[in-house]
């Protein structure tokens, strides 16, 4: 009997101790609440239950298989303290409620000076949401949405709201509503991110003095839409194959003093679309093989286009809605129009000997019929252009007084000139010799 009593006592201690120890180990919120500012919590290779709130300046480090799974009722991770670091984990399962004013996310940040590094987010409304949060770093993360078929039912990959001086770099976003959405967000740096299969790769409202470098926007309905914003710089970005009804590589709408430099616009329906914009500098870009290279409306003025390669587009420039006040050269340097407008440069100074003037009758058709974009490569369009050329119904789309001529083109022109001179010389000799014979 004494032995049974002792055995029962030992088993009771084990049963009481084991569940308590296991619960404390698995309850992530409880683990976080037990930490102090500056502590580091290393998570295991397993799934932890969200939703969690971080209100201390701590660091969470996961492993390859670390997952924080929300219950679908809110943010999976809410960061309310500054100087929080989250690294190396997968986050999934935020609320998908579109009617909530909370705007739920996989990770929602309400504080400053935080780091989110190498995090994978999926099955969440928004991916990472900065809400009035400044001086944060988001890098090396992968955010996957529900795909294009579910665009209306989801949020954005990176959502930046009233958030300034943040850095977003080396992230990949695909299949969300908008890849990156900025709203009243100033002085942010967006570097070397890849955005694909979204509605707008970049959607931009009322945000000033931001810098975009080295980003890739591909296979979106619209590459990047910059609206009602000033002082934006876009350098060395790629806008590739953004295609759909009235699609574009880059849209400027009601924006001022934008610098667009050293970018590539390739295989878009419209490479660059400018409407109600003022004071843009478009310099040294490659605008290649788009349906329309540049579409610019008369509501846009004081744009400067210089040193761009604008080549092999179905329509190089469509100037719509009347005459705008824009310059196609700066300080005597225009643009390279490639094979679309062959140039002769007899004095070999790199500037064509004649201005480039492009005239077309498609402006009225494009303004009146939105579906024209779908048929720009149709033979019927060429017939329409020829007919209106014969009827003198064309309009000047642009005039470049100082078109650039490449070294290859100068060499070709020199060879042509030499050939012409050789033929002329031979004809002269032949005629002179013929006269002497007679």
pLDDT band at 421 (very low <50, low <70, confident <90, very high): low
pLDDT band at 242 (very low <50, low <70, confident <90, very high): very high
Burial 226-242 (b: 16+ CB within 10 A, else e): bbebbbbbbbebbbbbb
Contact 128, 158 (CB under 8 A): yes
How would you write the chain as a 3-class SS string?
CHHHHHHHHHHHHHHHHHHHHHHHHHCHHHHHHCCCCCCEEECCCCEEECCEEECCCCEEECCCCCEEECCCCCCCEEECCCCCEEEEEEEECCCCCCCCCCCCEEEEECCCCCEEEEEEEECCCEEEEEECCCCCEEECCEEECCCHHHHHHCCCCEEEECCCCCEEECCEEECCCEEEEEECCCCCEEECCEEECCCEEEEEECCCCCEEECCEEECCCEEEEEECCECCEEECCEEECCCCCCCEEEEEECCECCEEECCEEECCCEEEEEECCECCEEECCEEECCCEEEEEECCCECCEEECCEEECCCEEEEEECCCCCCECCECCECCECHHHCCCCCCCCCCECCCCEEEEECHHHHHHHCHHHHHHCCCHHHHHHHHHHHHCCCCEEEEEECCCECCHHHHHHHHHHHHHHHHHHHHHHHHHHHHHHHC
If we measure between CA atoms, which residue out of 316, 297, 209 comes closest to residue 252? 297
Kindly compute the dihedral angle of the four CA atoms of residues 71, 75, 79, 85, in this order, to the nearest 10 degrees: 70
**What are the tens digits of pLDDT across the range 159-177?**
999 999 999 999 999 999 9
Does the N-terminal peptide bond of residue 385 adopt cis geometry, omega within 30 degrees of 0?
no
Is 233 a residue whose pLDDT tops 80? yes
Distance CA 234, CA 202 (A): 12
pLDDT band at 312 (very low <50, low <70, confident <90, very high): very high
Distance CA 380, CA 198 (A): 32
Q: Percentage of the chain with pLDDT > 70?
A: 81
**What are the tens digits of pLDDT across the range 98-151?**
888 889 999 999 999 999 999 999 999 999 999 999 999 999 999 999 987 777
Is 23 a residue whose pLDDT tops 50? no
Is 20 a residue whose pLDDT tops 60? no
pLDDT band at 25 (very low <50, low <70, confident <90, very high): very low
pLDDT of residue 88: 98
pLDDT of residue 22: 32
The mean of the pLDDT values for the chain is 88
If we measure between CA atoms, which residue out of 172, 189, 187, 177 comes closest to residue 225? 177
pLDDT of residue 9: 47
Is 420 a residue whose pLDDT tops 60? no
Contact 335, 306 (CB under 8 A): yes
pLDDT of residue 8: 47
pLDDT band at 433 (very low <50, low <70, confident <90, very high): low
pLDDT of residue 65: 95
Across residues 48-60, what is the average pLDDT?
A: 97
**What are the tens digits of pLDDT across the range 78-93?**
999 999 999 999 999 9
Distances in Å between the Cα of 411 and the Cα atoms of 334, 335, 338, 385 are: 19, 18, 14, 32
Contact 141, 171 (CB under 8 A): yes
pLDDT of residue 322: 81
Is 214 a residue whose pLDDT tops 50? yes
Distance CA 207, CA 230 (A): 7
Q: Percentage of the chain with pLDDT > 90?
A: 71
Strands 309-311 and 40-42 turn out to be: unpaired
């Amino acid at each position: 009997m004494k032995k049974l009593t002792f055995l029962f006592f030992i088993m009771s201690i084990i049963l009481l101790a084991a569940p308590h120890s296991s619960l404390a180990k698995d309850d992530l919120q409880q683990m976080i609440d037990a930490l102090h500012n500056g502590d580091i919590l290393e998570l295991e290779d397993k799934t932890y239950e969200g939703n969690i709130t971080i209100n201390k300046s701590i660091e969470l480090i996961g492993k390859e298989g670390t997952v924080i799974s929300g219950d679908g009722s809110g943010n999976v991770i809410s960061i309310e303290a500054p100087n929080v670091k989250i690294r190396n984990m997968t986050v999934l399962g935020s609320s998908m409620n579109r009617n909530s004013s909370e705007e739920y996310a996989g990770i929602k940040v309400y504080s400053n000076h935080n780091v989110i590094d190498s995090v994978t987010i999926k099955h969440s409304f928004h991916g990472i949401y900065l809400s009035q949060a400044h001086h944060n770093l988001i890098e090396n993360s992968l955010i996957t949405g529900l795909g294009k078929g579910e665009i209306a039912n989801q949020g954005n990959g990176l959502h930046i709201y009233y958030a300034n001086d943040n850095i977003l770099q080396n992230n990949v976003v695909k299949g969300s509503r908008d890849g990156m959405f900025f709203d009243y967000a100033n002085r942010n740096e967006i570097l070397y991110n890849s955005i694909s299969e979204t509605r707008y790769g970049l959607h931009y409202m009322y945000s000033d003095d931001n810098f975009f470098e080295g980003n890739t926007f591909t296979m979106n309905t619209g590459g990047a839409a910059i609206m009602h914003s000033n002082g934006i710089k876009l350098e060395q970005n790629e806008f590739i194959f953004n295609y759909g009804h009235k699609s574009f590589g880059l849209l400027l709408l009601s924006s001022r003093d934008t610098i667009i430099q050293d970018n590539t616009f390739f295989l878009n329906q419209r490479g660059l679309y400018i409407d109600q914009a003022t004071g843009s500098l478009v310099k040294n870009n490659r605008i290649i093989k788009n349906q329309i290279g540049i579409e610019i409306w008369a509501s846009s003025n004081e744009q400067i286009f210089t040193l761009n390669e604008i080549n092999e587009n179905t329509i190089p420039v469509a100037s719509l809605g009347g005459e705008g006040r824009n310059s196609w050269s700066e300080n005597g340097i225009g643009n390279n129009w490639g094979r679309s407008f062959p140039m002769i440069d007899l004095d070999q100074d790199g500037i064509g000997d004649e201005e480039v003037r492009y005239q077309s009758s498609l402006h009225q058709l494009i303004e009146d019929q939105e579906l024209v974009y779908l048929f720009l490569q149709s033979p019927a369009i060429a017939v329409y252009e020829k007919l209106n050329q014969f009827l003198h119904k064309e309009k000047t789309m642009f005039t470049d007084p100082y078109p650039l001529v490449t070294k290859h083109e100068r060499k070709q022109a020199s060879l042509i000139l030499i050939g012409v001179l050789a033929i002329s010389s031979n004809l002269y000799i032949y005629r002179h010799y013929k006269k002497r014979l007679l």
